[in-house]
Structure 1
Amino acid sequence: MEFAPNFRDAQAMDNLEKQLTCPICLEMFSKPVVILPCQHNLCRKCANDIFQSRGTSVGSGGRFRCPSCRHEVVLDRHGVYGLQRNLLVENIIDIYKQESTNKSLKKSEQPLCEEHEDEKINIYCVTCETPTCSMCKVFGAHKDCEVAPLGKIYKTQKGELSDGIAMLVAGNDRVQAIISQMEEMCKIMEANGRHQKQELCEKFDALYALLEQRKSEMLQIVTREQEERSQNMRSLMRQYGDHLEGASKLVETALQSMEESEMAVFLHTAKELIKRIIETSEATHIQKPAAGCENMDHFSANFERQERILRKLNFESVGDSEQEEDEDDKEENETELAENVLEEEKSGETNEEAIEVEDEAGNPEDVGTQPTEATSHMLLTHGGVKS
Structure 2
Amino acid sequence: METLRQTLSCPVCLELFTPPVLVLSGAHNFCKQCLEEILLQQNCHHINGFFHCPLCRKVIYLRGRGIVGLLRNSLVESILEKFKYELEKMCTQEKRQLTQICEEHGENMNLVCLTDDEPICAICKLFGKQEDHNVAKIPEAYNARKKAFIKKLHLVHKKSEEARKETEKLINELTAGATDTKVMIDAVGTGLLKDICYRMAELQAKLHHDYSTKLEKLQVIANEAEASGQLYQQMETLLEQHENSVQFLQEDKKFKEKIEKVLEGKASYQDPPKHKISINSILKSSSEN
TM-score computed with the length of structure 1 as normaliser: 0.32
Q: Report the TM-score when normalising by structure 2.
A: 0.40
Higher relative contact order (CA 8 A, sep 6+): 1
Structure with higher helix content: 2
